[in-house]
Amino acid sequence: MKSSLIPLLLLMFFIAVAHPVYAGDLIIFETFEDYDVDSDPDGWNADDTIYMDVVDSIVKNGNNSLKIECPTDDRDVWIEFGKSVEVVSVEFWVFPSTANRTITLLMLNGSVERADGGPYLGWGAQGAGALARYSGGAWGPTGENFDDNEWTYVKVVADATRSPKSFDVYLSKDRDKLPDEPQLKNVPYRSTNMSAFDRVLFLGWSDMAGPAYIDDFLVYEGTERPGLLFAVEPVGKLATQWGLIRTSM
The one-digit pLDDT tens for each residue of the chain (249 residues) are 444 444 444 334 433 433 333 334 899 999 999 999 999 999 999 999 899 999 999 999 999 999 999 998 889 999 999 999 999 999 999 999 999 999 999 999 998 888 889 999 999 999 999 999 999 889 999 999 999 999 999 999 999 999 888 999 999 999 999 999 999 999 999 987 789 999 999 998 888 899 999 999 999 999 998 876 654 444 332 333 334 343 333
In a domain, 73, yes or no: yes
The burial class, CB within 10 Å (0-12 / 13-18 / 19+), for 8 is: exposed
- Residue 108: phi, psi to the nearest 5? -160, -165
The pLDDT value given to residue 34: 95
The pLDDT value given to residue 228: 61
The pLDDT value given to residue 127: 92
In a domain, 16, yes or no: no
CATH of the domain at 103: 2.60.120.200
Range of the domain at 94: 24-241
Q: Partners of 172 in the beta sheet?
A: 153
Number of domains in the chain: 1
The pLDDT value given to residue 74: 86
The pLDDT value given to residue 243: 40
The pLDDT value given to residue 230: 59
The pLDDT value given to residue 232: 41
In a domain, 246, yes or no: no
In a domain, 18, yes or no: no
| pTM of the complete model | 0.83
In a domain, 247, yes or no: no
Q: Which residues of 100-134 are buried (b: 16+ CB within 10 A; e: fewer)?
A: bbbbbbbbbbeeeeeeebbbbbbbbbbeeebbbbb
Other CB atoms closer than 10 Å to residue 237's CB: what's the count?
A: 6
In a domain, 9, yes or no: no
- Answer whether 196's CB lies under 8 Å from 86's CB: yes
The CA–CA distances, whole Å, from 135 to 19, 60, 87, 206 equal 39, 31, 20, 20
129's CB contacts (< 8 A; 6+ apart) are 99, 145, 146, 147, 148
In a domain, 167, yes or no: yes
